[in-house]
Amino acid sequence: MLSMATCSSCWVLKQCLIVGFLFVIIISSIQPVNGCFTSIFSFGDSLTDTGNLLEISLLESNKLPPSAFPPNGRTFFHHPSGRRCDGRLVIDFLAEALGIPFLRPSYTTKVGRLQKFQKGMNFAVAGATALNSSFLQENGIHNRSTNISLGDELNSFKHLLPSLCSSSADCKKLLRNSLIVMGVIGGNDYNHAFREKNNEAARKFVPLVVHTIASAIHELIELGAVTFLVPGNFPIGCSPDLLTNYQGSNKDKYDPLTGCLTWLNQFSQHHNELLRTELEKLRNRHPDINIVYADYYNIAMRFYHSPKQFGFKETLKACCGIGGLYNYNSSRSCGYPPLKSSCNDPSSYISWDGIHYTEAANKWLANVVFEDLMKSTTCVPY
C-alpha cells in the first residue's frame, strides 16, 4: 500500500493508486497467446539486439563486445547471451507472450543455420543508427561501435527473405502473419552527438531519423507486412550515461522530483511527437495496415516518479558500473575488466549498465506494450 509520503496530495495519491492497480492487473493477467503471429521480425539497436553484434565480432574481428562477458546475462540466462542486459529484453518478453521462441540474431545465418529462423529473425545490431554512417561522419559524428544503419538491417532482411519463403505470394503470406518490431532505433544518432556535446547536430537529426524510420516501414508494407510495433524514444534525461556526461551544478536543468535532466527528456518527447505524426501519415496512406505505437517514454517515466511501486530502489545509478554520482564511466563498460561484477539485486535498479535497462524494467515495459498490442489486434489470449 502506498503511503501519503509517496504522493503530495489526496488527488495525486488517488492517481498513484489507480496507476498501481492498473499495473497489477496487467502484470497478473497477461498470458501467452497462440495464433496471433507466426513470426516476429525486429530491427533496431542494442535495446533489441539479441546477439548480432557478438556474431559480427566473431566473424569479422578479434574484439568482442561487452555483451560477450559477464555479468551480462546473470539474471536469466546465467551467462552472457549477446544482450546488453542482466537478462531478457523487451523483445524477448514479447516473443514469450506470443508463444514464439527467442529471436535468433540474423548474422547467425552466415554460418549456415537458416533452418532455425522459421519463427522470425532479429536484425537489430547494438550501436546501429537510423542514419547511415557516412552521413553522420560528414556531420562530425563518429560511431565507434559499428557502421551499420537501419538501411543495412533492412537490406539484410530483404536479402534473406527469399530463403524463408518459396514464392512472392508465400513471402507476402509470411509477412502478413508476422509482427514487425521497428526499433528502438535512432537513439545512437542522438547519443553519439550528445556524448560529443554537439546538441545542435542532434536536434537537426530528429526529422531525418523519423523520416528514415517511416521509409523503412513503408518498404516493409510494400513487401507485404501489415502489423507493426514502433517504439518511441526513452526518457534519455534519466540515463546515467548522459547524466554523467552533462553533470553540473545548475539545479534548474534537473527535474526536482526525479533528478532527470529536463531538457534531454524534452528532446525525447520532441522525437516522439514527430514520430507519432509520421506514423499517423502512414496510417492514413495505408488504412489496412496496423501500426501500434509503443509509448516507452511515458511508461518508463512512471518508474522514476513512483519507483517503490515497481520495486526499484535505485533510479539513476547503474547496477553494473563504476565511479561517480551515477555509478557510470564511459571508458569502463559493464563486462570489460575491471567491471566483472554488478550490484547484488539488479531487479531493484532501473538501469543495468548506465545505458540499457535491467530485465526487471524491461519486463514492466513489455507488459504494458503487450497489453496495447492486444488491444490493437484480433489476438485473444487462450
Contact by Cβ (8 Å): 321, 330: no
Exposure pattern of 163-189 as b/e (b: 16+ CB <10 Å)? ebeeeeeebeebbebbbbbbbbbbbbb
Backbone dihedral angles phi then psi of residue 354, each to the nearest 5 degrees: 95, -15
Closest CA to 293 of 311, 278, 308: 278
Element (H, E) at 127: none
d(CA 41, CA 367): 19
Exposure pattern of 20-56 as b/e (b: 16+ CB <10 Å)? beebeeeeeebeebeebbbbbbbbbbbbbbbbbbbbb
Cβ atoms < 10 Å from Cβ of 349: 29
d(CA 94, CA 288): 23
Contact by Cβ (8 Å): 129, 57: no
Task: Provide the annotated active-site residues.
Answer: 46, 353, 356
Q: How large is the C-alpha radius of gyration of the chain?
A: 20
d(CA 275, CA 207): 8
Q: Read off the DSSP letter of residue 149.
A: B
